[in-house]
Amino acid sequence: MERTTLPRLLRAARGVEKCLAAGALCGASVLPLGPSKGLGQGMPFQTPTGLPLPLAESSIRSFYRHAEMRTLLDNGHEIPNPDALRVGVDMVPLMIPHGMTSGTILIAGFPYVHKTLGRSGSVLTNGGFGDAVLMLRQNLLASDFIKGNRRLVLFAGATLPTGETKSESGPLPVPLRLGTGTVNVMGQAVYSYVNDRLGVHGAVGYTAAAASKFGVRAGDHLGYDLALGLRLFPSAYRTLRDVTAAAYLEFNGTVEQPGTQDGGPLANTGGHTLLLAPGLQLIPLPNWAIEGSFQLPIVRELRGTQLGPTWSLSLGVRTVLYLFGT
C-alpha cells in the first residue's frame, strides 16, 4: 500500500472547509427553542427550520458540535489508512439574531473552532474563531392553525474570511485552517410543517466561493436536508411551560463540485455525502433545551482519495440569554 503523501493528505481533508461553512449556515438557521402559539414541537438539531421564534429575537444562542474524519476513501470505497490520518473538529457557534421587522431577522454568527490533525502518531492542533457569518432570514409563508403551522423562509448571506488560514511560515495545512480564506455566498430555502405531535422540515441550499485562496478555488456545493420529528410528550399542551420531549430522524446531504486550480478541476476533491442523524431533545423550560444528535454517514461517494466523515456528535445545553430584556 502506497503511503499517503502530504499533498494528498491536504486534498483528502479539504472537506473540513466545507464543514465550517455548512456549520455556520446550520447554526444560523436553528434558532427556536420552545413551544409557542400554534407550535406542536421543538426543532431538529442538524436541519434548518422555518419555525417562528417563540422568544425575543434579540438574544444569544449557542451549542457544541464535534465531528470526526478518519475514514480514508478511494472513489467512495473505504481503503486502509496506514498513516492513521485523522481530522477532528470541535465547534461552538455563537449566534446573535436581531429582529428587523416582523418577518425579517438579521443573524450574525461567530464560531469558535478547535481542529486536530493526527498522522502516524503525531498530533497538530489549532484553535480560534472561524469565519464569521452574516445572514438575513425572510419569511415568505406563515400559516398557523390550532395544532401546528406551516412556514417557508429564505436565508441569504455570506461567510467572511475571518478565520486563520496561514502562519508566519506560510499557508496552514488545510485540515488546520480555521476558515476558508474567502467570502462564501450562501442561499437556502426552508420549509417546515408541524401538525400536533408530528413535524417535517426540509431545506435546500447552495454555497459558492467568491474567490480563490492560495491558487485554489473551493467547489460550489448543494446542501439538502430532511428531518422527521415526533413529540414524545406531552400528548397535548396544557400550558406554554409544559416540559417537552421530541425525537428526530434527520438526513443531511451535500453534493460538492471539485475544486479548481489554474482553471482545471483539482484531483481528490468534490463528491456526495449523506448523513443519517437520530436525535433527542428535552425542553424543560421555554428558553432551555437539552439535546443530542449523532450523525453517521450512509453515502460517501467522494471523488478520488479523500478523508471522509466517520461520525459527528452534537450535544449539550442550549439557552437563550436576553440582550435587551424579555
Flag whether 118 is in a domain: yes
Residues 6+ apart with CB under 8 A from 290: 281, 282, 283, 284, 316, 317, 318
Specify the pLDDT at position 52: 67
Cα 305–306–307 angle (5° rounding)?
A: 140
Flag whether 153 is in a domain: yes
Residues 6+ apart with CB under 8 A from 75: 301, 302, 303, 304
End-to-end CA distance of the chain: 62
pTM of the predicted model as reported, rounded to 2 decimal places: 0.86
Distance CA 324, CA 302 (A): 46
- Contact assessment for residue 307 and residue 273, using Cβ atoms and an 8 Å cutoff: no
- What backbone torsions phi and psi does residue 29 show, to the nearest 5 degrees? -90, -30
Flag whether 326 is in a domain: no
Total number of domains constituting the chain: 1
Task: Give the up-direction half-sphere exposure of residue 53: CA atoms within 13 A in the CB hemisphere.
Answer: 27
Q: Which helix (H) or strand (E) segment is 127 a member of?
A: strand 122-129
Q: Which residues of the chain have pLDDT under 70?
A: 1-42, 52-61, 318-326
- Contact assessment for residue 268 and residue 240, using Cβ atoms and an 8 Å cutoff: no
Q: Which domain holds residue 116?
A: 6-316
Residues 6+ apart with CB under 8 A from 17: 174, 177, 179, 180, 218
Flag whether 66 is in a domain: yes
Distance CA 90, CA 181 (A): 19
Specify the pLDDT at position 20: 47
Specify the pLDDT at position 40: 53
Report in angstroms the alpha-carbon separations of 168 from 163, 165, 173: 15, 11, 13
List pLDDT tens digits, range 162-194: 999 999 899 999 999 999 999 999 999 999 999
Flag whether 65 is in a domain: yes
Distance CA 307, CA 16 (A): 9
Specify the pLDDT at position 286: 73
- Contact assessment for residue 307 and residue 70, using Cβ atoms and an 8 Å cutoff: yes
Residue 236 grid coordinates = 397535548
Residues 6+ apart with CB under 8 A from 132: 108, 109, 110, 159, 160, 162
Residues 6+ apart with CB under 8 A from 5: none
Radius of gyration for the alpha carbons in the chain, expressed in angstroms and rounded: 20
Flag whether 322 is in a domain: no
CATH number for 248: 2.40.160.40
Flag whether 325 is in a domain: no
Residues 6+ apart with CB under 8 A from 211: 182, 183, 217
Q: Which helix (H) or strand (E) segment is 265 a member of?
A: strand 264-265
Flag whether 84 is in a domain: yes
